[in-house]
A and B are shown apart, each in its own frame.
Chain A
Amino acid sequence: MKQWRLLVEPIHLFGLAGRHAEWAATRQATITANIANANTPGFEAKDIEPFESVLDKTSLRMAATSQGHIGVGYGPTGGNEAREVDTWDVTHSGNSVRIDQELAKANETSRAFTLDTSIVRSFHRMIMTSLRSTG
């Protein structure tokens, strides 16, 4: 276990891809909430922070050395801070959700998620290759 962490952590590609996947999943949930409320009067479309700014703000997590410690710094890294976006149009009822815009965003997010899983898979394959070649 310890050795495995040593092998993976310096490269931290798994961590980065995992966090980006988490961010993508959170964004997808936000988009789904927008689409579900596409016909709710007064509902304002929301979006989450871009991944770059989430990454910039992330600080080191404190390790819990005792069971009594409250999980400091633990939380969704996916940037769940919802903010309003410049939407294409606002209807008379005050609803600012445009289904086409949301679906475009959803496709983009889904593509990002596919990229993440592909990265994890190919990186995993790389590690497995190096492990097998030593044997």
Chain B
Amino acid sequence: MIDPLTSIGRLAGAGLEAQSARLRIVAENLANAQSTGSTQGADPYSRKTILFESKFDAALGAERVRVDAIVNDDDTPFRIEYDPGHPAADADGNVKLPNVNMLMEMADMREATRSYEANLQMMKQARSMVSMTIDLLRGS
């Protein structure tokens, strides 16, 4: 087991990585909010969600977070819009639009940002604790 103050850097680093992966997925979803299929009746872009998992790290002696999987959200139905001129329109003239909900993505983005900040705060605090210890060596 390594020094707790050193392990903080790695634990918080894993948190930062996980939250930034989450932000990337949010960006992907938002960017593809209007991505429809190109052939008749084709499925549009399907919203993605990220799954986190805590895994015990023996070297750190603590549970660090990691990205378990990035999966497609198949439970939320696609939005249907009547647009017969669209290349992806089916026989009835209905176009399937991605199941991306802007409001939900924004809320997810906010939460990811908050968690990211909290991890960063812990990293900063650990760094100041380390420098406090090193400062003891300074002649007083």
Contacts and interface: CB of A to CB of B under 8 A. Distances in A.
Interface string A25-54: 110111111011111110100000000000
Contact of A117 (B11, B54, B61, B132): B132
A12 interface: no
Interface stretch (B36-44, B82-90, B112-120): B112-120
B64 A28 contact: no
B103 interface: no
Interface string A104-129: 00110010011001001100110010
Interface string B97-140: 00000000000000110110011011001101100110110001
Determine which residue in A28, A31, A36, A125 has the highest number of CB atoms from chain B within 10 A of its CB, and name it.
Answer: A36
Interface string B61-93: 111110000000000000000000000000000
B1 interface: yes
A99 interface: yes
Interface residues of A, number: 36
Nearest to A27: B4
A16 interface: no
B118 A28 contact: no
A25 B5 contact: yes
> Which size class do B's interface residues fall under?
35 or more
Interface in B25-56: 51-54
Nearest to A42: B54
B125 A35 contact: no
8 contacts: A26-B4, A32-B8, A35-B118, A36-B119, A39-B65, A39-B111, A41-B51, A99-B115
A117 B131 CA distance: 10
A32 B126 contact: yes
B136 to A, nearest CB: 6
A33 B4 contact: no
Nearest to B138: A121
A106 B54 CA distance: 20
B114 A99 contact: yes
Contact of B132 (A41, A78, A80, A113): A113
A26 B5 CA distance: 8
Given A28-B5, A32-B12, A39 B115 contact: yes
